[in-house]
A and B are shown apart, each in its own frame.
Chain A
Amino acid sequence: MATAERSDVLLVGNPNSGKSLLFSRLTGLKQKVANYPGVTVEVRSGSALGLTLLDFPGIYSLEPLTGDERVAIARLENALESPATHGIVCVLDATRLERSLYLLLELVTRARAAGVPLLAAVNIIDEVVSRGARVDVQGLERAVGCDVVAVSAKTGEGLDRLRAVLDRWHGRLPPHPPAPAPPPSTVEERRALAARLARAHGPSADVLLRSQERLDRLFLSPWLGIPLFAVVMTVLFQAIFTWAAPAMALVRRAVEVSGAWTSGWLPPGVARDFVRDGLFAGVGSFLVFVPQIFILFVVIGVLEDSGYLARAAIILHRPLGWFGLSGRSFLPLLSGHACAIPAMMAARTIESPRRRLLTVLVIPFMSCSARLPIYALIIGGFVPAHTVLWGTVGLQGLAFTGIYAFGIVAALLSSAVLSRATRGREGALADAPFVVELPPYRVPGVRPILLAASSRSSSFVRRAAPVIFCVVVVVWMLGYFPKGAGHLAESWLAWTGRWIEPVFRPMGADWTSAVAILTSFVAREVFVGTLGTLHGLEDAGQHLSALSTRLQSSGMGLPAALALLVFYALSLQCASTLAVMRKETGSGRIPVFAFLGMTTLAYTGAVVTYQVARALGA
């Protein structure tokens, strides 16, 4: 049979079966990254051995329960029917064979009906072997009637055998092995067969559960569970601010050096002024924060891969319930600290439609990485870089924790208000219930986490950079003309800024901040770029220095700085968030409501902060 059009291989498996890691192993860097950073909610594709691997979101069975499963399974059903489909790789978790076999048995029936070859990859075999147990691959092959390969995506063991099977498919479709027995057709029959097969051919499950129990005794302990959660969150935020500092300084230096070097080559004139003051000061001041965004993705990756995320969801289920949310809202809300867009998509995993809508509505309150540059700029400029507690905790890190906590509190209170204001609670039974699997604790691999974090952050930069560049060009032109460099106060921009200044005066913003706020309604990350360009213009001719130092010398006081922080913490300034919110909720009114509500809240909050801080003499 021709192979040209049959080139898709579907990668299917349970959640936490190491499927995404296997996908990365097989495709290497030749993969199209999910549209947005965050957990797998999209079908990723990558090439290996001349085939296209499609990585489907993790599922427990082919019968959907939640919205995200419905999407995933509908896509999978389509792919099964598609003439482009070349084969299916079902990823099994060797440490939880019974549960994995259930899905495999369902797939066997479908694959036979569709005439598509099926391969079962028994993943995480290294953990089974290290405990002195084994999986009887030949026995499973005979019993299930499909190719079975034991692999470890972590160590790379068995991947050659897996590739060999894919390669065999490549030449011609192998005939189906004879069916050992009529396949089970009900949930109970399938479950019973899975249990029998797991007992006959797999390792003893209890050994593995017992080792995860030891750690759960600690992390889910009634006394230590909460303090440990607090420690994990504190380390997360310290990592983002304090530990990222050296990397950020390095990038800042690189931007300065390359800016000076490039503008040295250009003849004096408009082009040189633009490159130095517009391009390097504007776009460069955003690039400085990329290391921080990268570290955030590393931390989220560690939480996901270590297995702690599920524990956090369970710990938080009850408290989040008080605000109308679910334990599963934790991951979307946490991802919201990186970017609201993947966070809203991750909210698809929330079992109940009502809790999901509330989560989507309040995600924009989370301090996303686009706000990070703004916070870092203001905190870096106005909070002293002292350390407390024997030099381990920085004051700036504490300020960061504070502003993040402020966003979280705003989200929870808004959710509670909206939950009470809309119809009364429907209860878990009318809605989809909260059922969460506790995966084993694992030491996360350094390489996969770094790979994922770098692809996530580069996709973020690729998405943000063009917008920032365009805004920077416009801002620079408005600020440069008609009089040229060094005459910012007489530029078109100054004229516009002074015209809108009265609106922002009550929150203490001068005209430069007013212009920056206005431009950042397209996307917040533009704020720093705009200010960088504005101050780059003002100091034209001098060499680049830290923007935060300039802000201090521009006469901005602590009350105005605090007001700006509050404004950015509460406002929804992101065109893409609104677009995705519309798509995810299927309603045009919801994003409008969210935008108006949050902007009003942000403005009011900023004005109150400024006035109160000034009255207190800060």
Chain B
Amino acid sequence: MTTLGDMPPGRSGRVHGFSSEVRPEVSRRLRELGFGRGNVVRCLRAAPLGGPRVYAVSGCAFALEAELAAQVWVSSVETHGDG
């Protein structure tokens, strides 16, 4: 088990949950956006200058700042191809 923050661009992971440091409103919004338990999230890229990473989830792309991405638990998922 790793976190979303440790997932390099190109890799996918299945969300297992959030660390207890994530406030309930924030966790709710993340779940509303598709970062809920069981969903597969793909890391698309890292912004230049060490900025936030961009994640794809159910057809949308979101940038999450590193401190937050480090609080989302994921397990690695094998991806087929680039899609």
B83 and chain A: residue at smallest CB distance = A206
Given A188-B36, A428-B67, also A435-B49 (CB < 8 A): no
Chain A proximity of B75: nearest CB distance (Å): 18
A191 close to B (CB within 8 Å): yes
B1 close to A (CB within 8 Å): no
Given A220-B47, A314-B47, also A65-B25 (CB < 8 A): yes
Q: Which residues of B contact A588 (CB under 8 A)?
A: none
Chain A proximity of B2: nearest CB distance (Å): 19
A216 close to B (CB within 8 Å): yes
B29–A65 touching, CB < 8 Å: yes
Question: Which of A19-27, A207-215, A575-583 is near enough to bind chain B?
Answer: A207-215
Q: Which residues of A contact B83 (CB under 8 A)?
A: 206, 210
Given A61-B29, A191-B31, A206-B83, also A318-B50 (CB < 8 A): yes
B77 close to A (CB within 8 Å): no
A48 close to B (CB within 8 Å): no
- Tell me the bound Cα distance from A428 to B68 in angstroms: 7
- Tell me the bound Cα distance from A317 to B71 in angstroms: 19
Given A209-B61, A210-B83, A438-B63, also A318-B51 (CB < 8 A): yes
Q: Which residues of A contact B29 (CB under 8 A)?
A: 60-61, 63, 65, 435
B47 and chain A: residue at smallest CB distance = A314
Q: Which residues of B contact A223 (CB under 8 A)?
A: 48
- Tell me the bound Cα distance from A590 to B24 in angstroms: 31
Chain B proximity of A326: nearest CB distance (Å): 9
Interchain CB contact (< 8 A) of A209 among B25, B33, B51, B59: B59
- Tell me the bound Cα distance from A305 to B46 in angstroms: 23
A205 close to B (CB within 8 Å): yes
- Tell me the bound Cα distance from A341 to B24 in angstroms: 33
A436–B44 touching, CB < 8 Å: no
Q: Which residues of A contact B63 (CB under 8 A)?
A: 310, 314, 317, 327, 434-438
Given A63-B29, A191-B32, A435-B63, also A99-B58 (CB < 8 A): yes
Chain B proximity of A248: nearest CB distance (Å): 36
Given A63-B25, A102-B32, A315-B47, also A433-B59 (CB < 8 A): no
Given A318-B49, A327-B52, A429-B71, also A435-B33 (CB < 8 A): yes
Interface residues of A in 468-517 (CB under 8 A from B): none
Chain B proximity of A496: nearest CB distance (Å): 52
A98 close to B (CB within 8 Å): yes
B17 close to A (CB within 8 Å): no
A435–B62 touching, CB < 8 Å: yes
Q: Which residues of B contact A316 (CB under 8 A)?
A: 51
Interchain CB contact (< 8 A) of B49 among A315, A434, A436: A315
A216–B44 touching, CB < 8 Å: yes
- Tell me the bound Cα distance from A319 to B64 in angstroms: 15
Number of interface residues of A (CB under 8 A): 49
A617 close to B (CB within 8 Å): no
Chain A proximity of B58: nearest CB distance (Å): 5
Chain B proximity of A428: nearest CB distance (Å): 4
- Tell me the bound Cα distance from A38 to B45 in angstroms: 30
Given A60-B33, A191-B36, also A96-B64 (CB < 8 A): no
Given A99-B58, A433-B67, also A65-B26 (CB < 8 A): yes
B23 close to A (CB within 8 Å): yes
Report the interface size class on chain B.
35 or more
Given A99-B33, A438-B54, also A212-B61 (CB < 8 A): yes
B78 close to A (CB within 8 Å): no
B32–A220 touching, CB < 8 Å: no
Chain A proximity of B21: nearest CB distance (Å): 5
A175 close to B (CB within 8 Å): no
Chain B proximity of A90: nearest CB distance (Å): 15
- Tell me the bound Cα distance from A64 to B22 in angstroms: 16
B51–A314 touching, CB < 8 Å: yes
Chain B proximity of A334: nearest CB distance (Å): 17
B51–A99 touching, CB < 8 Å: no
Chain B proximity of A197: nearest CB distance (Å): 12
Q: Which residues of A contact B37 (CB under 8 A)?
A: 188
Q: Which residues of A contact B25 (CB under 8 A)?
A: 63-65, 432
Chain A proximity of B7: nearest CB distance (Å): 16
- Would you give the 0/1 interface string for A214-236, flagging 1 where the beta carbon is closer than 8 Å to chain B? 00110011110110000000000
Interchain CB contact (< 8 A) of B56 among A209, A217, A429: A209
A427 close to B (CB within 8 Å): yes
A195 close to B (CB within 8 Å): yes
- Would you give the 0/1 interface string for A380-416, flagging 1 where the beta carbon is closer than 8 Å to chain B? 0000000000000000000000000000000000000
A187 close to B (CB within 8 Å): yes
- Tell me the bound Cα distance from A590 to B36 in angstroms: 40
Given A433-B64, A437-B60, also A188-B31 (CB < 8 A): yes
Q: Which residues of A contact B49 (CB under 8 A)?
A: 226, 315, 318-319
- Tell me the bound Cα distance from A216 to B55 in angstroms: 12
Q: Which residues of B contact A315 (CB under 8 A)?
A: 47-49, 51
A317–B67 touching, CB < 8 Å: no
Given A63-B29, A65-B29, A429-B71, also A226-B48 (CB < 8 A): yes
- Tell me the bound Cα distance from A614 to B13 in angstroms: 63
- Tell me the bound Cα distance from A241 to B2 in angstroms: 51
Given A191-B34, A437-B60, A438-B62, also A317-B23 (CB < 8 A): no
A65 and chain B: residue at smallest CB distance = B29
A61-B32, A98-B58, A191-B31 given. 14 additional CB < 8 A pairs? A65-B28, A99-B59, A187-B36, A188-B36, A195-B58, A198-B58, A198-B59, A317-B51, A318-B49, A318-B50, A319-B49, A433-B64, A435-B30, A435-B33
| A–B Cβ pairs within 8 angstroms, 10 of them | A98-B59, A99-B60, A195-B58, A212-B61, A220-B45, A222-B46, A314-B52, A316-B51, A437-B60, A438-B62
Residues in B lying within 8 Å of A, measured CB to CB:
21-23, 25-26, 28-34, 36-37, 44-52, 54, 56, 58-65, 67-68, 71, 83
Q: Which 7 A-B pairs have the closest CB atoms?
A: A205-B59, A428-B67, A225-B48, A434-B65, A438-B61, A433-B68, A318-B51
